[in-house]
Amino acid sequence: MEERIEELEVKIKELLDDKKYHQIRELLMDLNEADIAEIIETIEIKEDVVRVFRLLPKDSAADVFSYIPVEYEQMIIESLTMREIGQIMNDLYSDDAVDMLE
């Protein structure tokens, strides 16, 4: 499985370079939230981190958010609208929401 994730990391970076966001979304739909978070952690460009996060279906975005490191959470929060932040907060478990606010 780890090998597959590494292949997907490379593929997603290529698709980001080519601005093929629909294909990225399709790849992400087949992954669990922890694997998506792992892939997000490999993305070095802040704008690309936010792009990938925004491609996630709203119902899984909060779950992915709870798996990513704090520095990535901050990157994402700084780039989201208040409405998007509110949606994530509503979907997070209370302990994750408290951690995010801190």
Closest CA to 44 of 64, 19, 86, 72: 72
pLDDT, tens digit, for every residue of 41-99?
999 899 999 999 999 987 788 889 889 998 998 888 888 788 877 777 776 655 454 45
pLDDT, tens digit, for every residue of 24-33?
999 999 899 9
Quick one: how far is CA 100 from the chain centroid? 15
pLDDT, tens digit, for every residue of 12-24?
999 999 999 999 9
Per-domain boundaries in the chain: 2-101
Q: What is the pLDDT of residue 93?
A: 57
Task: Please give the CATH architecture assigned to the domain spanning 2-101.
Answer: Alpha Horseshoe (1.25)
4 conformational bin, left if phi > 0, alpha if psi -120 to 50, beta if neither: alpha
pTM flag (> 0.75) = yes
